[in-house]
Chains A and B, each alone.
Chain A
Amino acid sequence: MAVSVMTGSRSVATAVKLAKPEVIAAYPVTPQTEIVEDIATFIKNKELNAKFIKVDSEHSAMSALIGASSAGARTFTATASQGLMYMAEVVHWAAHARLPIVMAVATRALASPWSILNDHTDFLVQHSSGWIQIMCENNQEALDTTLQAFKIAEKREVMLPVMVGLDGFILTHTSMPVDVPDPDLIDSFLGKRMAPFALDPDNPLTFGNVVDDKYFMEMRYKMFESMQNAKRVIKEVSEAYAKLTGRSYGLVECYQCDDAEHVIVTMGAASGDAKVAASMLRKEGIKAGVLRLRVIRPFPKEDIVEALANRKTVSIVERDLSAGIGNILAHEIKSALYDAGAKVFVKSFIAGLGGRDILPEDFVNAVKSAASGKKGDEWIRLNLG
């Protein structure tokens, strides 16, 4: 146990150092750059024994890791925004190929126009890629989740890559106290990767040749099953990690939820502001709570329904946009509640795009708007002038 004050980038890089991947391949893109710079420094200082392939593009980064992971190595990369989109073809490939790659995504708004500031659209639009997706609230969680990601991904009943999201600049470039677990503890927690299949001249297998319509669906079904297994595995890995470190994480986090009548649903660093807002609302006599979405895929349907079904209102505040429908997760949440027959008033709020802050007052106003029964999606603090 050693507490350091470090940025989210360094927290992720430190987790990578502890996880001991054999091959890292990455291309710089703001605001992920400090993650890969730290990794290069760790390697130079012999704190990490790994190959860091300084590839020619993000597509090459993921392609390189598909190669390395197929060869049996533990692998890592990091990216953001444009880089994630450029890589997208092989992001999907990696999941369908069932390779336990771990990737950190420093969330950032997508162009056009250019913005290097934070929003979650980049992370969320990859939600059908087949990757397990976990979004962190703070730097401690970023370190812990990155470590756990390797274990979750490599489990035989999962064998799916994991995307760890952390808010660009808000977390990546902000320093917080982070407890760094002892390397020996992590060695026993993770161990070496034991690949069930790998490129091997003595056992020559072909990876990924044509599967026709007679079995393609079955292959996808196997992935679907593994995603279902992941819900259980994520919890098991969290428990094992909690035994070592005292810190435990679920698929979601419920804050002041027990008697809450009005729940704010949000994701990432702004969850902290939402928690402050919940306390502010309680001072006014409004029983508010926060449901923080942590695991996006596999979609924690049961946990969400349990947390939201019997409330008066649900205010979903997201910093992403799927133009033509609104927020991305809100629709998944609404459909989960519909399936469960829940009759709760759900309101969707679009906020924080392109780096705009979401303040506690914004969450307070959102809850009040929902509580007033006002229907329709709302955009928070739009300055159309």
Chain B
Amino acid sequence: MADVNEEVYVIPEIDTKGLEKEFPLSKPGFGAGGKTNEWRLLRPVINYEKCIKCLICWIDCPEATITRGKDNSVAINYDYCKGCGVCANECPTKAIEMVKED
């Protein structure tokens, strides 16, 4: 098992002093495209006994919703994972299964 490593996401504190209400400016943040977890029909589930920490799923995830831990363990960030299935398709040990969302 591994936990999502929230520390990997780099979001600096920017004091825009309300500039974004006056000028077309936006600040970095999660979910700029909405609650993308709600797009899922399937969710990836990692079988940690098969996982060899090869990091292929981590590098191939288009969403940065697989986080990498200091020990190279990987975890799915279900808050925003879209369920595309690339990770399951690429995993060399078939450690990831795409499971139907309830």
Contacts and interface: CB of A to CB of B under 8 A. Distances in A.
A and B touch in their complex, CB below 8 angstroms: yes
Contact of B16 (A159, A205, A218): A205
A222 B22 contact: yes
16 contacts: A98-B22, A196-B19, A197-B16, A197-B23, A197-B25, A203-B12, A204-B14, A205-B16, A205-B26, A206-B26, A206-B27, A206-B28, A208-B24, A219-B22, A219-B23, A219-B24
Given A97-B23, A204-B28, A205-B25, 16 more contacts: A97-B24, A98-B24, A159-B23, A196-B23, A197-B23, A197-B25, A202-B12, A203-B12, A204-B14, A205-B26, A205-B27, A206-B25, A206-B28, A208-B24, A219-B22, A222-B21
A207 interface: yes
A74 to B, nearest CB: 18
Q: Label chain A's interface by main secondary structure.
A: loop
Interface residues of A, number: 18
A97 B19 CA distance: 12
Contacts of A17: none
B12 A207 contact: no
A211 B19 CA distance: 14
Nearest to B23: A98
Interface of B: 12, 14, 16, 19, 21-28, 32
A45 interface: no
A206 B28 CA distance: 8
B24 A96 contact: yes
A112 interface: no
Nearest to A209: B26
B93 to A, nearest CB: 37
Nearest 9 A/B pairs, CB to CB = A206-B26, A222-B22, A208-B24, A203-B14, A98-B23, A205-B25, A209-B26, A197-B19, A204-B28
